[in-house]
């Protein structure tokens, strides 16, 4: 649709000639499957035709010269690798195959960098570099067998020989963003275990960020879901927090910090893209993580909106409490560039390493109940 200086809108019809073997109808079926599962969270406003309709991606690629990038969580990346290695198919792996085929045919670039840093932290550089090589095999594989697999032909794809030798990237190097997200996640866990009213825990977290830490928007929004009283999608955000095995609780908090790192990376890329020729999609089968991604985009991309945050929180909080949280977070963000606060932070007597040590000690010493 275009508009001239003195004219009303005029509809322009444009035609794209697709290759003869382009599997358009089957991609429509995959799009309907993926949209029904809600596996994608867009970092942009979806087009009227639908988020997963092939027409949207074909139009944006050919006419608007837009590149779409998919940011998958580690579970999706690892399952793509399993398929390439010949894993026995199940319903979840078929959906992973659908993601791979959908992205390949519609020129959606899969960018899983944070996922390999997460793997390297838990299993070491060798394992992460090996999985990275196998992911490249999967990403560059012939998409037609993956398409057949996604649509029910479980024999369409057998194990393949490795095509890319492992490299020697230092993927285990600590990411500064993850370390800060880890501190915030440890604090959220500490407040959750301390008990007290839901709103009080939320406001204590925001006060701690203001006085003793940094203003970590993604972590604050995760807490606004996790501390909420009215059936929030919190399952999986802090796994085994109350386990009698406190090391498992610690692993759950580390996982939550990686979730925050994936999503803060998405928001960073969305804001960098602004109105440019990039579109970002986040992909996960974790409902809680997708809810957090939607909340982050709705309230953080292109500037914070206090009014929008209130509306997003109302399903999980009373209106009065949602307004209190949104107002407190807005005040916090207004101080983001306050020189006095920055100076206090620079002169803080507690280092990042010490904050991690204290947070871990508090979590490990808390009693488990299961």
pLDDT of residue 301: 63
pTM of the model: 0.87
Number of neighbours of residue 6 by Cβ within 10 angstroms? 5
**Residue position matching structure tokens 């880890």:** 182
Residue ranges for the chain with pLDDT beneath 70: 1-13, 275, 301-302, 370
Q: What pLDDT is stored for residue 162 in this prediction?
A: 83
The pLDDT of residue 370 is 59
Collapsed DSSP state (helix, strand, coil) of residue 2: strand
Map tokens 């579970």 to a residue. 75
Domain boundaries, the chain: 24-150, 176-257+301-365
Q: Quote the CA–CA distance of 111 and 328 in Å, as a whole number.
A: 35
Contact 21, 47 (CB under 8 A): no
What is the model's pLDDT at position 11?
58
Give me the residues paired with residue 111 across strands.
Answer: none
Instruction: Give the per-residue pLDDT at 144.
Output: 95
Specify the pLDDT at position 236.
75
What does the alpha-carbon distance between residue 101 and residue 148 come to, in Å, rounded to a whole number?
A: 9
What pLDDT does 354 receive? 95
Q: Are strands 278-283 and 40-42 parallel, antiparallel or unpaired?
A: antiparallel
Q: Identify which of 215, 249, 224, 236 has the alpha carbon closest to the alpha carbon of residue 331.
A: 215
Q: How does strand 278-283 pair with strand 67-72? A: parallel
Residue 161: the pLDDT is 80
CA distance 131 to 1: 45
Strand order in the sheet with 40-42: 40-42, 278-283, 67-72, 108-110
Sign of CA dihedral 137, 140, 142, 144: positive
């Amino acid at each position: 649709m275009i508009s001239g200086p003195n004219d009303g809108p005029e509809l322009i019809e444009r035609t794209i000639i697709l290759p003869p073997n382009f599997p358009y109808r089957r991609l429509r079926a995959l799009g309907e499957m993926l949209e029904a599962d809600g596996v994608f969270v867009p970092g942009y406003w979806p087009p009227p035709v639908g988020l997963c309709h092939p027409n949207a991606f074909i139009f944006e690629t050919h006419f608007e010269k837009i590149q779409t990038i998919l940011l998958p969580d580690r579970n999706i990346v690892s399952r793509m690798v399993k398929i390439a290695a010949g894993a026995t198919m199940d319903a979840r792996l078929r959906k992973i195959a659908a993601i791979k085929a959908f992205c390949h045919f519609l020129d959606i670039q899969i960018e899983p960098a944070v996922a390999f840093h997460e793997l390297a932290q838990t299993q070491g550089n060798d394992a992460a570099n090996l999985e990275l090589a196998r992911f490249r095999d999967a990403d560059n594989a012939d998409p037609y067998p993956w398409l057949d697999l996604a649509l029910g032909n479980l024999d369409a794809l057998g194990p393949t020989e490795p095509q890319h030798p492992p490299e020697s990237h230092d993927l285990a190097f600590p990411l500064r963003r993850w370390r800060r997200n880890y501190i915030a996640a440890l604090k959220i866990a500490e407040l959750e275990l301390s008990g007290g009213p839901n709103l009080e825990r939320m406001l204590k977290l925001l006060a701690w960020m203001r006085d003793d830490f940094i203003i970590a928007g993604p972590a604050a929004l995760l807490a606004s879901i996790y501390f909420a009283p009215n059936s929030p999608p919190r399952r999986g955000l802090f796994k085994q927090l109350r386990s009698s095995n406190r090391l498992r609780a610690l692993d759950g908090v580390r996982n939550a910090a990686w979730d925050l790192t994936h999503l803060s990376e998405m928001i960073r890329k969305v804001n960098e893209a602004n109105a440019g020729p990039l579109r970002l999609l986040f992909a996960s089968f974790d409902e809680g993580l997708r809810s957090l991604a939607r909340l982050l985009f709705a309230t953080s991309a292109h500037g914070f909106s206090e009014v929008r945050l209130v509306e997003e929180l109302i399903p999980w909080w009373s209106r009065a409490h949602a307004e209190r949280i949104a107002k407190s977070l807005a005040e916090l963000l207004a101080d983001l560039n306050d020189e006095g606060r920055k100076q206090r932070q620079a002169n803080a007597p507690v280092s990042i390493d010490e904050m991690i040590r204290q947070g871990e000690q508090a979590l490990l010493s808390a009693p488990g109940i299961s």
